């Protein structure tokens, strides 16, 4: 029932996006010393929402997140991973995931309260 409500679908997509961003940052960090490796990043959540809601009133939030090469200077070995930037992106993803789960939980609490059930 809850998964059919568009608001909860958006919260779920937010959590999935943060998870994918965390996974991508971890992959980039793991390959930071690999010669010639090109770092990738996940599209922003706003870009994902714009892409999945092309037609008014329709959203297909089950689609995957697009990845693209990051822009930045390459090391002498051709690797484009910036460790500082990836650590920042990783921490940002943790914060976004926590926020999505908190909003999801609070929304369920509000629904329970509206139905007259104790939280």
Q: What are 41-72's pLDDT values in tens digits?
A: 999 999 998 888 876 666 778 888 999 999 88
Q: Has residue 119 been placed in a domain?
A: no
pTM for this entry: 0.82
Report the b/e string of 10-44 with b at 16+ CB within 10 A. bbbbbbbbbbbbbebbeebbebeeeeebebbbbbe
Q: Has residue 103 been placed in a domain?
A: yes
Give the Cα separation of 81 and 60 in Å (integer).
32
The structural domain count of the chain equals 1
Q: Has residue 65 been placed in a domain?
A: yes
Residues of the domain holding 56:
2-114
Q: Has residue 33 been placed in a domain?
A: yes
Q: Give ∠ CA 77-74-71 in degrees, rounded to 5.
A: 150
Q: Has residue 34 been placed in a domain?
A: yes
User: Is the dihedral angle over the CA atoms 7, 9, 11, 17 positive or is it negative?
Assistant: negative
């Amino acid at each position: 029932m809850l998964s059919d409500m568009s608001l909860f679908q958006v919260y779920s997509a937010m959590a999935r996006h943060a998870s994918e961003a965390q996974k991508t940052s971890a992959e980039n960090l793991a390959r930071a010393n690999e010669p010639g490796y090109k770092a990738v990043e996940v599209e922003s959540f706003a870009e994902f929402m714009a892409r999945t809601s092309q037609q008014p009133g329709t959203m297909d939030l089950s689609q995957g997140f697009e990845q693209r090469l990051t822009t930045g200077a390459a090391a002498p070995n051709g690797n484009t991973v910036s460790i500082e930037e990836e650590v920042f992106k990783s921490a940002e993803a943790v914060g976004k995931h926590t926020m999505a789960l908190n909003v999801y939980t609070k929304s369920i609490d509000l629904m329970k309260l509206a139905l007259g059930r104790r939280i």
